Amino acid sequence: MSTPRRRFISWLGSASLLGVATRPALEPLTRRQNAADAHRDTLRDAHADAVEEEWDMSWTARVSGRYKAVFDSPELSEGVALNRADAWCDQYKEVYGAARGEMSPVLVLRHSGFMLAMNDEFWTDMEVGKELRLRDDKGRKWMRTNPVSGSSSSGTPKPGESIPAFIAAGGIVLACGWTFGGAAMRIAKREKIDKAAALTRARAMMIPGVILQPNGIFAALRAQEAGCSYVLAS
């Protein structure tokens, strides 16, 4: 047998052995992926019904689009997380032709970002703009209204400009229960009312359609268990 032919046969044998050697390494990866998928399905099944009626978990059934993402907003950032969630929908439409109904955007408002869940009355009464050092468009006065409540938009606000418009377009907005409790305490102190009355008052001052959750971290994790990819949006 000629030297070139022997080299070719030797190379062919080595390649075959390499294929055999790498196959077991690939199989565990596949099994781990299947196990991860099964675990996610188990989590969804385990969370089918909430045992505490205080918390509305029905929103998880609405995370049913072909594309799912949760936009976590721990900072106020004048509502940039809302804009990013809406931009994601627009960009998937531009790139993939996805209809709005195929998108499931979830916005989580927590920490200082929670203030975006409160209406203009709360912002005015509690002087949120002054507390967070936010000035109006002219830069001379403290902001007295929620920048994404929809009240400051000229004409019909777009989903990326207003929480009510975002919700109307199919978006889901979740708010931190811990920070909500702090907001209720501020109301109780200012209006000199008891805890129960302050909690009722605080709920009435939330933007309609925003869903209160135990806290923001819970909301972000639950959205991921429902199939959302996670984005730190502010």
What's the CATH superfamily of 58-232? DsrEFH-like (3.40.1260.10)
pTM of the model: 0.79
What pLDDT digit, counting tens, does each position of 26-52 carry?
Answer: 455 556 555 555 555 555 545 666 666
What pLDDT digit, counting tens, does each position of 198-234 carry?
Answer: 999 999 999 999 999 999 999 999 999 999 999 999 8
Confidence of residue 129 (pLDDT cuts 50, 70, 90): very high
Contact 224, 215 (CB under 8 A): no
**Helix residue spans in the chain (DSSP H):** 3-46, 80-96, 120-125, 128-131, 163-168, 177-191, 195-204, 216-225
| Averaged pLDDT for residues 166-176 | 98
CA gap 91, 103 in Å, rounded: 11
| Averaged pLDDT for residues 10-33 | 47
pLDDT at 168: 97
Instruction: Say which residues have a Cβ less than 8 Å from residue 179's Cβ, sequence separation at least 6.
Output: 110, 111, 114, 215, 216
| Averaged pLDDT for residues 92-112 | 97
Domain extents in the chain: 1-46, 58-232
Look at residue 10 and tell me whether its pLDDT is greater than 60. no
pLDDT at 44: 54
